[in-house]
Amino acid sequence: MRRNHAPFLLACCAMAMGFGANTVSAADIFRFSANRMSGSRALGKDSTVLEGVAKVISETLTLTADRIELSGDENRFVDCSGTVSGVDTEKGIRFITERLRYDRKLKIARLEGNSTLEDKKNSVVAKGRFIEYNDEGGIAILQIGVRIFKDELVCRSEWALYRREEKNLELAGMPVVFKEGDEFRADRMQVDLETDEVSMEGTVSGSLKEKSSKENQSDDGKP
């Protein structure tokens, strides 16, 4: 079954579809638009495909991509590909990726390819080749070429665990942290993103920037 409609017609049709539980409330309604739409119910596999400037909008989340597929019972799975971006206005989360897979029931999002996750609430920007974000727990796992930025703090590793609510960051896989000219390396590292305190385990190394006399005077509280 294939349907071709103008984008504004797609948005109107969307109001009749539930993006949530069996009993659809105002919060469960979502809107979508695209240049093309196709659907299938073959062999009990329900799916709707949006292509060409595709957009899905729920109460707080907006997703845009070249292609978006909704599948599963009650549109449980959302698969976005192409130039993918999204914003959650309630949580202050923004992301850009090459592919997004989202399980609406478990509230787990998987970002694949060059991906960026921005947490405006904590002023954190995280980048990696794979990011799994658990919306329920506010936990992100990052892998491959991980880079995390916060103010003057720069972290690099091959694996990272970011806890939003605790403002805590764990690093492994050749981790290195750059902080105001200082450099820290270890087998495993933890960073308190509220205080910028760095804890290290295993083989520890690094370098400390020598402060100028003016900086030392400032630290001592003297003019």
Please write the tens of the pLDDT for every residue from 149-182: 999 999 999 999 999 999 999 999 999 999 989 9
The verdict on residue 8 lying in a domain is no
**Three-state SS letters, 134-203:** ECCCCEEEEEEEEEEEECCEEEEEEEEEEECCCCEEEEECCCEEEECCEEEECCEEEEECCCCEEEEECC
Rounded CA separation 160/158 (Å): 7
pLDDT confidence bin for 26, thresholds 50/70/90: very low
Does residue 52 belong to any structural domain of this protein?
no
> Which of 70-79, 118-127, 175-184 is predicted least confidently?
70-79
Inside any domain, residue 150: yes
Tell me whether residue 1 is in a domain.
Answer: no
Asked which of 33-47, 142-156, 172-186 is least confident by mean pLDDT, the reply is 33-47
Q: What pLDDT shows up at residue 40?
A: 74
Q: Is residue 116 part of a domain?
A: yes
For residues 81-102, average pLDDT: 94
Burial of 50 (0-12, 13-18, 19+ CB in 10 A): buried
**CA–CA gap between residue 10 and residue 15 (Å, rounded):** 9
Mean pLDDT, residues 211-215 taken together: 56
Give percent above pLDDT 70 in the chain: 79
Query: Residue 13 pLDDT more than 60?
Result: no
> Averaged over 69-79, what is the pLDDT?
89
pLDDT band at 140 (very low <50, low <70, confident <90, very high): very high
pLDDT of residue 220: 52
**Does some domain include residue 134?**
yes
* pLDDT band at residue 188 using 50, 70 and 90 as cut-offs: very high
212 lies in some domain: yes
- 17: pLDDT strictly greater than 90: no
Task: Specify the CATH number for the domain of residue 125.
Answer: 2.60.450.10
For residue 93, give Cα distances in angstroms to 49, 119, 154.
25, 5, 20
Q: Which domain holds residue 182?
A: 91-219
pLDDT of 6 above 90: no
Structure tokens at 140: 């992100």
The count of structural domains within the chain is 1
Among the listed residues 99, 102, 98, 93, the one whose alpha carbon sits nearest the alpha carbon of residue 126: 93
> In this structure, is residue 29 part of a structural domain?
no
> Between residues 72 and 84, which one has the greater pLDDT?
84
The pair of three-digit structure tokens given for residue 124, joined into one six-digit string:
């954190």
User: Which of 76, 79, 64, 61 minimizes the C-alpha distance to 33?
Assistant: 64
Question: HSE of 136 in the Cβ direction (CA atoms, 13 Å)?
Answer: 7
